[in-house]
Structures are given as C-alpha cells and as structure tokens.
Amino acid sequence: MSLPEVYAQLFKYIDSHRDEYIEELREAVAVQSVSGSPERRKDTCRMVDWTAKKLQKAGCEVTIRDIGFEELPDGSELPLPPVIFATLGSDPKKSTICIYGHLDVQPASVEDGWESEPFSLTERDGKLYGRGATDDKGPVLCWIHAIEAYNAMGAEIPVNIKFILESMEESGCLGLEELLAAEKSSYLSDIDYVCVSDNYWVGTEVPNITYGLRGVCEYQIAVECAKQDLHSGLYGGAVHEALGDLVYLLNTLTDSEGNILIPNLLESVAPVTSEETDLYRSITFDLNEYRRTIGGNKLRHNEDKIQLLMHRWRYPSLSIHGIEGAYSGSGLKTVIPGKVIGKFSIRTVPNQQTNEVNEMVISYLEHKWKERGSPNNFKITVDPPGDWWTEDPFHPHYTAARRAAKHVYGVDADLTREGASIGVVSILKQILQKNIVLLPVGASDDGAHAQNEKINIRNYIEGTKLFSAYLYEVGQI
Ligand SMILES: C[C@H](N)C(=O)N[C@@H](Cc1c[nH]cn1)C(=O)O
Ligand SMILES: [Zn+2]
Ligand SMILES: [Zn+2]
C-alpha cells in the first residue's frame, strides 16, 4: 500500500512533537477529574475548560453545553460537568465525522498500590503512568494533536469534524442521552460517521478495530443492622450482622466457576453463528501473555482462545466490585459494621434487555433475602445502565479505518469486540443510525481503572498518527 504524500509530512511533524504531547498529557492527568467523587466536581469542570481552550486554539468552534444536575444520596443537587461540542469545518462537499471522548476518570490514590502518584504523570521505560493516561485523556489529546498537525502542515483536513466530549462517562453518562436526543436535528443532523477511541488493543503489538461492546447494569445492595459500627466484643453474639447477610447475598450471584446463578438471565443471549466464530479465529491473542499480565494462576476457558474471547466480549459476566462500610484497612479491627453496601455489575450482551435483566436481578435477590430470614434493613439500588452495541465491521467506514491502521502500524488490524461498556455508543447508534467505529490506541496491559494505569509513549504517538490517517482515509470514502 503506497503512502499518500500528506502522511510523510504529518508523521514527521508528529514524531518531532513527542515531548510537547507528553507535557500536555502531564497537564491533563494532573487535573483530578474523578466524576464519581462530588468533591472533585470543580476539578472535573476545570478539565472541561482546559480542553475547550485547546480545541479553540486548534481552530474549533466550541460550545459548552449545560446538562443540569446530579441528585446526591443526601437529596442535594450538584451541577453536572458540561459537555463540549466543538466543530471544525462545515464544507457540504465533505463527510462529517463525530468524534467522542471523555475527560473524567476513575478514582485513584497511591494507597491503592500505585508505584507513583496517580495524578502526576510519570515516565518509566517508555511508558507514561497516570490516571486517565489511556482512559481517556491520552486518546482525546491524540485527536487534538492530529488536528494541530494538519494545521501546522497547512494541509486540508478532508472531513468536517464534530466533537462530543463528556465528563460523566465513568458515572453512568448522566445527562448525556437527553442532550444528544435534543440535538438530533441540530448539532447531530449532518453526521455521516462516528468514531470513538475509548477502548484498548487485545494485545500489545497488533492494532485492532472494534465492532461490539457489552452493556453494563450496576447494582448496590445495602444492609443495615445498627445505627453505627459496634464493638464485636460487646455486641458480637447479640446482633444479626449486616456484613454476614451481605456476603451471603453476594455469594448467591455466581457459582464457584463464576457462572451467573440468576434464573433465566442467559435465555435471551444471542446464539453464536459460524460466521461470528470465523471472525474470532484469525485474532492475534496470546492466552498465556494475557494470564501473565494479570498475574493470576489460571484463567477460565484456559486452553481455548475463541471461548475465552467470547466470554470476555459476547457472553454476560457478573463482577463483585466491593463493599462500602466494611473495614478494609491493613491489620485487624474488631468491629461489626453497622451498615454495608455491596456493589456489583452485570455486563450485558445482545439480545438482553436492560429492564428485564434488572427485574430478574431484583426478584432473585428479594427471594434470597426472604430465604435468609434476616431482620435487618435491606435495599437494592439500580444505577444508570449502559446498553450493548454491535456494528457491521465490513462497512466502508471500517475499511477506511483499517487502511489508516495499516499505514501507521504496517500490519492488518484485527476486527474485535470489547467486553467493557461505553454508554454513548448505543445512544448515538439509536439516534443517528450511522456506522460507528471504535479505534483504540492503548495496549491491552494499560491497566485502565486499575493501579498504575499507563499509556506507552509509542501508542500515544502512533495513536496521533492513526487519527491523522483516519481523518484522511474517511475523506476518501
Ligand atoms: C471502555 C471505557 N473506557 C470504560 O472504561 N467504560 C466503563 C464505563 C463505566 C460504567 N460504569 C462505570 N464506568 C466500563 O466499562 O466500566
Ligand atoms: Zn473507564
Ligand atoms: Zn473510558
């Protein structure tokens, strides 16, 4: 495949601006835009302002869209961080692509086991460590840098661009669906294609382009046995303990193999077709490397690449995330927690319906609670869900994205799905009915949501080239 002339210049420019790009990521990571922490809301809004300025400087027309308030558990209201709309170009002869990214991050603290401060970008062995480095501040900056490279070259971008940048992605995309639905015939009316870079490669060497996501249904089970924590020597033996009830309930959700025990939950899962299995066969994926990266002893479906990938991407899974109110510090504390909240989620897949899944989960847990016969207070809360999505990976939009990847990485990108969830994708699909490509830049071992999240410098720089090439290739469709 011969390289279009413009690439040589763009790629050279991008390579020579590596250090500036790293400095910009350092600034972005330093802003603690944790959407799930009300006390970080000001920082999250600061991240919005910072990015809006960058987009303006890159030549975009930026509007900041207010999306209302979030109701906190104590009934008070907190303003949601606004959404950025930014437009570059409005040539009716060109296609218009919508680029989505998010500026908020998951919580992180050095006590969780980070080797360096999570909000202070730290370079080690060609890797940039920091919360949001790969999810999703790095990729958002790659887009801005790709545009800057075109500008600096005086090269015409062959598509119009419309950004949607939100800052509540890690917290159920609050307020976004209403905003986008209201913009269907205005801001979103002329979108031809959508591109999202908010997931990761399946491995560490071969790029991939993603045509499916799982949805997510999140739950909290609260059990209360006392108005505050109790000394276990003084009260142990006298009270029905909340944490015992909660552990019992959580343990009824899956069997020891991790199979979901909620009746009928798997009934609506779409059957696997032979065409689908064929798509999995050629994917470059090393089971042993994957296991080694995790540091675990044995995987489920250990010997079978296709089964393992299918269970990550196209079958549901249930994960227990944590227990609020239970003692989790080091050492022992002889306490009986007064109130505990267990948190778990189910990743949903085609053709499961979110409301049906919720009903099954609630009725199962209520049944188990009755069986337990506890006198304690019990409440289940359902958090805002995200829906699953799949796309036609043989659409010309995918061909364009694969051409771009081949130019940058020199190999064919694999066509893959993703087990995680990106709320906006199914929302945009429903509103626009346009082809959506997920174009990841980070590697499988980036540790999004975990300790020591990072992006490899190579992935960050090549990702910028990938986006510059994608803009060019989509302009040729
Ligand atoms: C894939 C994307 N970068 C991501 O991390 N999505 C999150 C969305 C979410 C849902 N609840 C909290 N965050 C995910 O899949 O967990
Ligand atoms: Zn995330
Ligand atoms: Zn993300």
Per-residue confidence in pLDDT tens, the chain, 477 aa: 556 788 999 999 999 999 999 999 999 999 999 999 999 999 999 999 999 999 999 999 999 999 999 999 889 999 999 999 999 999 999 999 999 999 999 999 999 999 999 999 999 999 999 999 999 999 999 999 999 999 999 999 999 999 999 999 999 899 999 999 999 999 999 999 999 999 999 999 999 999 999 999 999 999 999 999 999 999 999 999 999 999 999 999 999 999 999 999 999 999 999 999 999 999 999 998 999 989 999 999 877 999 999 999 999 999 999 999 999 999 999 999 999 999 999 999 999 999 999 999 999 999 999 999 999 999 999 998 999 999 999 999 999 999 999 999 999 999 999 999 999 999 999 999 999 999 999 999 999 999 999 999 999 999 999 999 999 999 999
Q: What CATH number corresponds to the domain at position 352?
A: 3.30.70.360
Paired strand residues for 222: 341, 379
Ligand 1 atom at shortest distance from the alpha carbon of 345: 11
Are the beta carbons of 146 and 17 closer than 8 angstroms? no
Residues 228, 231, 234, 235, CA torsion sign: positive
User: Both tokens of residue 116?
Assistant: 């360096």
Do both 57 and 74 map to the same domain? Answer: yes
Which among 351, 385, 419 is the end of a domain?
385
With beta carbons less than 8 A apart as the criterion, state whether 261 and 360 touch: no
Residue 334 marked ligand-binding: yes
Q: Are residues 364 and 453 in the same domain?
A: no
Check residue 2 and give its pLDDT: 58
Alpha carbon separation from 432 to 116, 186, 309, 464 (Å, rounded): 42, 12, 29, 26
Judge if the beta carbon of residue 198 lies within 6 A of ligand 1. yes
CA of 237 to the centre of ligand 3 (A): 46
CATH number of the domain bearing residue 69: 3.40.630.10
Say if residue 60 is in the same domain as residue 105: yes
What is the value of ipTM here, to two decimals?
Answer: 0.98
Answer yes or no: is the C-beta of 308 below 6 A from any ligand 1 atom. Answer: no
Confirm or reject: Cβ of 135 under 6 Å from ligand 1.
yes
| Structural domain span for residue 12 | 5-213+388-475
Q: At 78, is the secondary structure helix, strand, or coil?
A: strand
pLDDT for 4: 77
What pLDDT shows up at residue 136? 98
Of 166, 181, 151, 149, the residue nearest 51 (C-alpha): 166
Q: What is the pLDDT of residue 73?
A: 81
- Which residue is it, tokens 């989960």? 361
Q: Which of 368, 385, 402 is a domain's end point?
A: 385
Same domain, 397 and 444: yes
As to burial, measured by CB atoms within 10 angstroms (0-12 exposed, 13-18 middle, 19+ buried), residue 8 is exposed
The owner of tokens 């020579």 is 16
Beta-sheet strand order (sheet of 377-382): 317-324, 339-348, 215-224, 377-382
Locate the ligand 1 atom nearest the alpha carbon of residue 386 and give its number. 10
Query: Is the C-beta atom of 446 inside 6 A of ligand 1?
Result: no
Tell me if 293 is assigned to a ligand binding site: no
Q: Is 294 exposed, middle or buried (0-12, 13-18, 19+ CB in 10 A)?
A: exposed
d(Cα 51, Cα 55) in Å, to the nearest integer? 6
Q: Which of the ligands is closest to the CA of residue 140?
A: 3
Q: Which ligand is nearest to the CA of 101?
A: 3
Q: For residue 350, which of 449, 276, 439, 300 has the smallest C-alpha distance? A: 276
Residue 216 CA: nearest ligand 1 atom is 10
Question: Where is the domain boundary, 385, 414, 445?
Answer: 385
Number of folded domains that form the chain: 2
Asked whether 173 and 424 are in contact (CB, 8 A), the reply is: yes
Are residues 57 and 177 located together in one domain of the fold? yes
Please enumerate in sequence order all residues whose Cβ is within 8 A of that of 238, keeping only pairs 6 or more positions apart, or say none: none
Q: Angle at the Cα of 144 (from 15 to 122), degrees rounded to 5?
A: 65
